[in-house]
Amino acid sequence: MTEPEQVEGLVSARLLNVEDHIDRQYIQPGKLPGTLTLVARRGKIAYVKAQGLMDVERNKPVCRDTIFRIYSMTKPVTSIAMMQLYEQGRFLLDDPVHKYIPAFKNLRVYKSGVYPNFLTTPATSTMTIRDLFTHMSGLTYGFMNRTNVDAAYRELGLDGSRNLTLETLVKQLAELPLEFSPGTAWNYSVSTDVLGYLVQLLSGQPFEEYLREHIFEPLNMPDTGFQVRDDQLDRFAACYQYQPGDQFRLQDDPEKSHFRRKGKFFSGGGGLVSTIDDYFHFAQALCNGGEFQGRRIIGRKTLEFMRSNHLPDNQDLPALAVGSFSETPYAGTGFGLGFSVKTDVAKSQTCGSAGEYGWGGLASTNFFIDPAEDMVMIFMTQLIPSSSYAIRQELRAIVNGALV
C-alpha cells in the first residue's frame, strides 16, 4: 500500500474520514458486523481499512484476506467474459438470443393469471443479446416479490436452488412469460445468468472453467470462485440479515454455507466469492483500460463501449425501470454492458464524475471506477439487503472529498 500523500491528488487525513464514519455510524451502533474498504488512484492503493468482525458469533475480526460473498458484483465479471467472446467475433450485440437458444424464439409476455395458468400475449420485439447485458430483456428475479411472474421464479427456484443448472435455467425461462417485450423497459433480472450460459455455449468450456482460465488466472485472483475450499474456510465471513431497529441476525454461517459445497449452478449473476485484493485486480484492470500488470483481459475500445450508456436515447433508469430494485440509485444513472454508468452527477445527488461505472452486491458490497479521476473504490461487508443503508452514497462523498 502506498501512503496517500504519495498518490498524487489524495489527502490522507481526509481518507481517514472513511474509518471514522464507518466506526461511528455503523460498527459501534451495531448496524454492520464489519467492513473492508479500499481506495486506489492511478494504479496505487492509497487506503485499505478493515473494521469490525467478519464473524460475530466466533468473534473473528475482518482481515484484508477475508473472503466475501460478492453476489451481483459477479455480473461485471460475466459481462467481461462474454465481451471477450465478442472480440473473437463469436456473436453480435443485436443477434437474437434465439439464434443461440432456440427455445427463446417465440417468447410471450404476461397478461394475467398465476403460475402455471398464465394468460399471455406474443412479445412485440425479439430479445437480443444486448437486452441481456442491459437488463432490458423482460426477465426478472424471484426475490422482487412484485408480480405473478416473479412468484413463478420463486416457485421454480430460478434465483438459485440445489437442483438448478444453467441448462435447466434457460429451459424453464423459455417456458415462462416475460414481464414486458424486450427492449421496452428496464428490470433487474437473471439476464446475466443467461449470459453465463452463453459464455459456456460459445466458448465450448464449462462456465466456471472459462472464468478461471480467462480472467481469474491472468489477473492473479486465486481466492475468487463459486466455492469456498477447505483451506479458505478460516477466512470466509459470515453473512447477516438486516432486522428492524437497525440490528442484524445471522443469515449464512460460513461453516454451513452452501458456498462450501460444490454446486451444479454456476451463477453468472451472483455466484462468486472473492477477496478485496482479488477484486481490486479485476477493477484496476478495467480502470487501466483492460489490463493489469501486463496481462490484458479486454480491449480498450471494447471496454469504452461497455461503459457507455446503452439505454435508449441515453435515458437514465427512472425513465425505463419498472421495478424498484437496483444496486444503484436510479436518478442520473444509465446502464452499459454489465455496469451502471453515471450520466448526470447533479441529478444523481451523489458526488462523482460523469462516466463513473460499477455495481454492487446483495450483501451490500460495492465498487466503482472513476475514469476521469483514475480511481477505484471497493467496499466489502456482509449485510442483506443492500438497500439497508445509504453507505454507498456516503462513501462516495467521503472518498471524493479526499481528492485535491
Taking the C-alpha atoms of residue 129 and residue 331, their distance in angstroms, rounded to an integer, is 25
Q: 133 with 18, same domain?
A: no
Please say which residue of 150, 182, 203 terminates a domain.
203
Burial of 343 (0-12, 13-18, 19+ CB in 10 A): buried
Please say which residue of 177, 203, 229 terminates a domain.
203
Task: Name the one residue in this structure whose C-alpha cell is 436515447.
Answer: 313
> How many domains would you assign to the chain?
2
Q: Do the domain assignments include residue 130?
A: yes
Q: Do the domain assignments include residue 83?
A: no
Give the sheet arrangement for strand 357-360, strand by strand. 60-61, 44-55, 34-41, 375-380, 366-370, 357-360, 340-342, 333-335
Please say which residue of 141, 176, 203 terminates a domain.
203
Residue 116 preceded by cis peptide, ω within 30:
yes
The values of phi and psi at residue 247, to 5°, are -125, 175
| 277: DSSP letter | H
CA distances from 221 to 211, 256, 280, 282 (A): 11, 24, 9, 8
* pLDDT tens string 191-249: 999 999 999 999 999 999 999 999 999 999 999 999 999 999 999 999 999 999 999 99
Does the pLDDT of residue 101 top 70, yes or no?
yes
Across residues 45-55, what is the average pLDDT? Answer: 97
| 177: DSSP letter | P
Q: 197 with 210, same domain?
A: no
Q: Among residues of the chain, what percentage have pLDDT more than 70? A: 98
With b for 16 or more beta-carbon neighbours within 10 A and e for fewer, the 286-305 pattern comes to: bbbebbbeeeebbbeebbeb
CA dihedral 132→137→139→145, nearest 10 degrees, is 110
* pLDDT tens string 114-126: 999 999 999 999 9
Residue 6 has a pLDDT of: 67
Residue 8 has a pLDDT of: 77
CATH value at residue 373: 3.40.710.10
Q: 43 with 109, same domain?
A: no
Q: 56 with 168, same domain?
A: no
Q: 318 with 246, same domain?
A: yes
Q: 235 with 118, same domain?
A: no
The angle that helices 74-86 and 191-203 make with each other, rounded to 10 degrees, is 40
Helix or strand or coil: residue 151?
helix
Q: Do the domain assignments include residue 175?
A: yes
Beta-bridge partners for 337? none
Amino acid (1-letter code) at residue 22: I
Q: Do the domain assignments include residue 82?
A: no
Does the pLDDT of residue 136 top 70, yes or no?
yes
Q: Do the domain assignments include residue 85?
A: no
Residue 55 has a pLDDT of: 98
Helix or strand or coil: residue 332?
coil
Which residues contact residue 230 at a Cβ distance below 8 angstroms, ignoring those fewer than 6 apart?
none
The values of phi and psi at residue 132, to 5°, are -70, -45
pTM, entire model:
0.97
CB 234 within 8 A of CB 184: no
Picking from 84, 88, 162, 97, the residue whose alpha carbon sits closest to that of residue 128 is: 97
Taking the C-alpha atoms of residue 324 and residue 150, their distance in angstroms, rounded to an integer, is 13
CA dihedral 16→18→23→29, nearest 10 degrees, is 150
Host domain of residue 301:
4-74+206-401
Q: Do the domain assignments include residue 337?
A: yes
Helix or strand or coil: residue 23?
helix
Does the pLDDT of residue 3 top 80, yes or no?
no
Q: 286 with 197, same domain?
A: no
Does the pLDDT of residue 78 top 80, yes or no?
yes
Residue 312 has a pLDDT of: 97
Q: 210 with 198, same domain?
A: no
Taking the C-alpha atoms of residue 65 and residue 77, their distance in angstroms, rounded to an integer, is 20
Q: 31 with 180, same domain?
A: no
* pLDDT tens string 368-384: 999 999 999 999 999 99
* pLDDT tens string 319-368: 999 976 777 778 999 999 999 999 999 999 999 999 999 999 999 999 99
Q: 283 with 306, same domain?
A: yes
Q: Do the domain assignments include residue 163?
A: yes
Across residues 261-275, what is the average pLDDT? Answer: 95
What value does the mean pLDDT of the chain take?
96
Across residues 99-125, what is the average pLDDT? Answer: 98
Q: How confident is the model at residue 2 (pLDDT cuts 50, 70, 90)?
A: low
Q: 113 with 152, same domain?
A: yes
Q: Among residues of the chain, what percentage have pLDDT more than 90? A: 93
Q: Do the domain assignments include residue 131?
A: yes
Picking from 47, 2, 64, the residue whose alpha carbon sits closest to that of residue 395 is: 47
Q: 358 with 261, same domain?
A: yes
Residue 63 has a pLDDT of: 98
